[in-house]
Amino acid sequence: MTNERIDLPQGTLDLLILKTLAVEPQHGWAISDRIQQISKVLQIQQGSLYPALHRLERRGWIKAEWGASENNRRAKYYALTKQGRKQLEIETNAWRKLTSAVDQVLNMV
Amino acid sequence: MLSDFLYRLRAVFKRSTVESELHDELQFHLERQVEKYKAAGASDEEARRRVRLEFGGMEQIKEQCREARGTHLFDDFRQDLRLALRMFRCSPGFTAIALAALAVGIGANTAVFSIVNGILLKSLPYKDPQQLVVMFEQLPNAPAKFGFSPPDFEIARETFKSYSGIAAYQGIGYEVSGVTQPMRVVGARVTADLFPVLGVAPHVGRWITSDDDKQGSHVVVLSHGLWARAFGQDPSVVGRAITLDRQPYTVIGVMPERFEFPPRGAVLNGEPAEVFVPMSFSQVEREGFGMRYNTTVVARLKPGVRFEQARAEATTIAQSLPERYPPVLRGFAGGIAIPMNPLTEETVGGSRRMLLVLMAAVAMVLLVGCADVANLILTQSLSRQRDLAIRSALGASPSRVIRQLLTEALMLSIAGSALGLLVAYSSMQSLLYLAGKTLPRTESIGFDYRVVLFTVILALITPVLFGAMPAIRTAFRMDGEALKERGRGATPGRAHGRLVGALVVAQVALALMLSVGAGLLARSFVRLLSTDPGFRSEQVASITLTLPSGRYTNGRQVRTFYEQAIEAAREIPGTILVAIGNDLPLGVRERRAFSSDANTRPIPDVSRLIAPTWISPGYFESLGIPLKRGRLFTDADRPDTPPVVIVNQKLAQMFWPGEDPIGHRIRWGIDIPQNQSPWMTIVGVVGDVKQAALDTPTLPQVYVAVFQEPPPMFGSGSGLLRTFNLIVRSSRTSASLIADLRGVVRHLDPALPVSKAQSLTDMISDSVKPQRFSMTVVMLFASIGLGLAAIGIYGVLAKVISQQSHEIGVRMALGATAGSLVWMVLRRALILMGIGVGTGAAGALALTRFMAGLLYEIQPTDAVTFFGAAVSLAALAVVVSLIPAWRATRIDPLIALRAE
């Protein structure tokens, strides 16, 4: 199992968080759970999610609000801002360009 | 950007909320994960263990989150602030001295800057003032520039192409009455285009039109100040009547509050006017080629035209001027030049040098103060070295320690600046009072955003000056060595001593430069005051009167008034002599072209302009001006006797060197056949007097017997003889005499205002006001600088003694005498002093030459001043080192050693 898991490249966590929040506002645990579910191979230490969330909030790409969770507990929900949506688009494009370029190089031989 | 800022702000100010929210958030995550594993069948304990492993260190995550919020800088700052406040509380003496030094330094800088700001930096209160220029005419060989003559102005107005507008004005005194107590005010005759050229609209009403100018209408525009004084700012003033020189005028407008014209400080016509009337040149003025060069021309450059282009045009026009003059005057007009100056330069140029010297002096005061504070911090840091070493051993990086020390410095400077603003604000009024009318544009001096900005900049720069070096030194001294070495009582290390020494040297050097500057100005001032003015001022008083044309319509009335005034003044108890004169020494304004029977001989470089003065018999005796040859005027010199004049020695030597001038003749006007002026015979030669100021060279001067002039002369349109000074030499003091002189005037014409009443001693003292101002202020700064330097030297030596008490104790135990201990302390002080004096003297040599323009008969390198400053500084240093030296001898070796 450990063999199949890969470490996240620098900065990719931000992109994953933004993408996850593009669907609907979520609290931290749900974001982490969602990322794990969708991609079993990504190795994320759960704690590292929070500094990233705080950084994104400072930049104004996501905003936080306290709300009630599914089991009626107080939880901090994060939602994408307008600026964040734009940033998601920019980063997605950049990621696509990068991976396709790397693919091209790898497919050359 | 903004949201980022708000986010950080919240993180800083709602710290506890943010912290507990962070805790809740992470806790929520952990519990959800635990629930998840328990739902999958794990035991509670097993689930919690797995979650902790997966999640990572709680405190570490929290710290990372804090960093992500970007607030650790703020947190550190709060900590530094707390440490600094604790430090200040623990050493109130240190804090008080540091604050006082900074408050004085920054306060003095702020005060001087607010003057510089008002005069040099703020633009003149006109539209686009950088486009405004003033033009003059320079007559051949004349020592100073003149205004335009009316015909030359009209030629200029139609020929110049560089300007969008060109206007003229003349300063002229008026008696204002009818709406207020009669008073003399400064007025201006102006052409209609003056206000459009300046680009300033009246506050109320309208300005003078070209129709007013052409028709010679009796209309007047008031300054805001006069409007307030005479009409209580009544907005319905337009159309009201006001009496000028006892003639009715109609008020048509009021200028805005900040408007001031002509600007004070200009060389000619430089007194702000309170009433503006149409110029309305008379036919005689308009055709008066070669006369009345007293109109100043102000013009606005067309957009895109540079000053140099306009100047080139002026040169061309000056060259073509003779073509427009009557044929007989062409030779004379050939030498006329048209110099010009930007209006701003003309206004403030004369005071720039003095202001820059003040600024430099006050900056040095601040540097001395900063060195004081730096020294205090350094000595302070010696006793804190162990503190700081422990902090650094516990993990504080050097940059962290530097930041802490700089925060302390910043807090000191901010508090010092706040106090400094108070110092500046409260000293401003006395500074301006001291300056009197010697500075231009005093109305624009005050506290504005630029002054506050300047203080803020000082508050930010000074901590770097006094805090950075000690902070860096301290921070990098904090290796383990510091802990070991800095045992109690050990003599401070060599490097520390060098730094402290360097600061003392810098202080001494700066203090020396300040003392040299102050000494030069003081010596120059003494020289100035000891200059012989050529007359005796003691127990002489004078009052100045102008007889308004509306009441004294013809020359006979004017002359009669003079005779009655002299008669009445003779009746005042204590009177010794009475005389009148249209000008007094130090205030001879008139310049006239003249020719003499010596003109047949070529006299190189001699001005054809002289200073004429109309006087009554008794003038020279009253003023104590000595007769050198011939005779003085008497009552026998009457209109029906041959015209006679008295000349000064300067004129006699210039035109008849080695010859007796008595019997030679002169006349007004230049030497052309058409000159109709009568010849006047020289009957006497008197001593030279200073005509403009004590530091200006004497001009050739001619005295005319006023009562020999035919009566029409007194009432002439030029108004020359309508203004006169009633001079009384008395056995009484001037103050009580002046009251009696006023009584004489009240008796003769109750409505006649006295424009000036003064003792001649005051007149001399007023004439040196500019020099007194710069001298007083620089001396004040120098003494503050010296005081601060003395504190610095004393503080350093005292601290050194107390830190060396162990060493001194050992020396005493080994048999050192008191004398050798005193010498040990003094020697150190004297070495530092010597290096400082050397450096300061070199610096002063380099800097004082910029003061040359402010000095009178003193070289900027004056050896006496340099020597005197060095000696007094050395004396000061010895005096302040004696106290710590004496204290060193009182150290009890037993106590000093036992303290170990």
- A5 contact partners, CB below 8 Å, separation of at least 6: A40, A41, A42, A43
Q: Which residue of B has its CA nearest to A77?
A: B25
Q: Alpha helix (H) ranges present in A24-80?
A: 28-38, 49-59
Fold of A2-107: Arc Repressor Mutant, subunit A (1.10.10)
Q: What is the pLDDT of residue B487?
A: 46
Whether the CB-CB separation of B443 and B260 falls below 8 Å is answered with yes
- C-alpha Rg value of chain B to the nearest Å: 38
Q: What is the pLDDT of residue B494?
A: 63
Cβ contact, residue pair B55, A74, below 8 Å:
no
Q: What is the pLDDT of residue B390?
A: 73
ipTM for the assembly = 0.88
Residue A82 burial (10 A CB sphere; 0-12, 13-18, 19+): exposed
Contacts of A34 in chain B (CB under 8 A): none
- The predicted-structure confidence for B54-104, as pLDDT tens digits, reads as follows 887 787 788 778 777 766 667 677 778 888 888 888 888 888 888 999 999
Whether the CB-CB separation of B741 and B726 falls below 8 Å is answered with yes
CA distance B268 to B778: 29
Helix (H) or strand (E) holding B142: none
Q: What is the pLDDT of residue B489?
A: 44
Q: What is the pLDDT of residue B89?
A: 85
Q: What is the pLDDT of residue B395?
A: 60
Contacts of B65 in chain A (CB under 8 A): 50-51, 54
CA distance A31 to chain B (A): 10
Q: What is the pLDDT of residue B606?
A: 47
Cβ contact, residue pair B55, A46, below 8 Å:
yes
CA distance B600 to B578: 39
Q: Structure pTM? A: 0.77
Report CA torsion sign: B317, B318, B320, B325.
Answer: positive
Whether the CB-CB separation of B730 and B669 falls below 8 Å is answered with no
Cβ contact, residue pair A46, B33, below 8 Å:
yes
Cβ contact, residue pair A50, B21, below 8 Å:
no
CA distance A45 to chain B (A): 6
- Within the 12-71 window of chain A, which residues sit less than 8 Å (CB to CB) from chain B? 27-29, 32-33, 45-48, 50-52, 54-55, 57-60, 66, 69
Strand-pair category, B275-278 with B296-301: unpaired
Cβ contact, residue pair B28, A74, below 8 Å:
yes
Contacts of B31 in chain A (CB under 8 A): 73
Whether the CB-CB separation of B760 and B533 falls below 8 Å is answered with no
Cβ contact, residue pair B55, A59, below 8 Å:
no
Strand-pair category, B204-205 with B575-581: unpaired
Q: What is the mean pLDDT of each run of 10 residues along chain B (900 residues)?
A: 67 76 87 87 87 81 76 72 83 86 92 91 90 88 80 91 92 88 91 92 92 91 93 91 92 92 78 91 85 89 92 90 83 83 90 90 92 84 73 68 84 92 88 82 84 90 84 67 49 68 89 92 91 92 90 89 94 93 88 74 58 92 94 92 94 87 87 81 95 87 92 75 92 86 92 90 90 91 92 81 77 81 79 90 90 88 91 87 80 69
Q: What is the pLDDT of residue B718?
A: 62
Distances in Å between the Cα of A26 and the Cα atoms of A20, A30, A31, A76, B552 are 8, 6, 6, 8, 99
B→A interface, C-beta within 8 Å:
3-4, 7-8, 21, 24-26, 28-29, 31-33, 36, 54-58, 60-61, 64-65, 67-70
Is residue A11 less than 8 Å (CB to CB) from chain B? Answer: no
Within 10 Å of residue B356's Cβ, how many Cβ atoms? 14
CA distance B462 to B458: 6
Q: What is the pLDDT of residue B475?
A: 72
One-letter amino acid for residue B107 of the chain: G
CA distance B410 to B460: 7
Nearest to B382 by CA among B491, B506, B502: B491
Q: What is the pLDDT of residue B108?
A: 92
- A51: nearest CB among B7, B55, B68: B68
Contacts of B54 in chain A (CB under 8 A): 45-46
Cβ contact, residue pair B28, A69, below 8 Å:
yes
CA distance B45 to chain A (A): 19
